[in-house]
Amino acid sequence: MALPQLLHSPPSPSPSSSTSLISPKPQLNPARSFLSPPRRRRPHTLSCAASSFPEKHHTNPKSDYAAELPLFPLPLVLFPGAVLPLQIFEFRYRMMMHTLLHTDLRFGVIYTDPSTGTSDVGCVGEVVKHERLVDDRFFLICKGQERFRVNRLLRTKPYLVAEVTWLEDRPSAGELHDLDALAGEVEGYMKDVIRLSNRINGKPEKEVQDLRKNLFPTPFSFFVGSTFEGAPREQQALLELEDTAVRLKREKDTLRNTLNYLTAASAVKDVFPST
């Protein structure tokens, strides 16, 4: 589910980095050709629904534990709990898949952009279903797991392999009660945005069902971020945050701005039905 015409909240400094949240500064320095996403790839789709998120946020490995992880740079942002279908046909990534199918089926999805370069924070994608086609291409269904930060590149050929450390949200000052209330506000804005968007687009106005589905605040904040399709830089900023309350507040601001825009658009449409 993607939310329409998101109007982003103003950027704020990341607690863990001086990098701009809207335009992450490139941290990786391998040859540019190895940072590019596969050529002529079919558009990637990020298909998310509340049911695709675990009821409880999984426990990450210790944040100071370094691990080796193959990387797959893509022009999209994967969130923990989100589902990502991929078609693998470029030779270097087919090699990566042959290796992963004999190990732990996990690789790092990391956002890359021609204007900003490759970010140093990404999300592990775990292969939950795969099909090997007759021409050695692969069709994958992956699910987002823990987040990571790239410490350094270990190899660039035939594909990127990096040393990473794991990221997890720090406890918020408001603790769980305040986070639950904030998550409820965000859900309310999401419902209003969906309802008004359906009205503007001529779709039937029906009550939006429960979007949170008993998710704890942290995985719910990731779910909300995953719906901001078409705004990958904003999604990357949300992924990099290490405070659930800050992430939810930023999402609330974005949804509120979007709701204000849609309210104005709806009023114009009522006055000028043909526009």
Give the pLDDT confidence of 200-215 residue by residue, as tens digits: 888 877 778 899 988 9
> Can you give the pLDDT at residue 7?
55
Higher pLDDT, 271 or 81: 81
CA distance 142 to 125: 6
CB neighbour list of residue 138: distance below 8 Å, 6 or more residues apart: 86, 87, 88, 89, 94, 97, 130, 131, 132
> Can you give the pLDDT at residue 267?
81
The two most distant CA atoms of the chain are separated, in Å, by 62
| Amino acid, single-letter form, for residue 146 | E
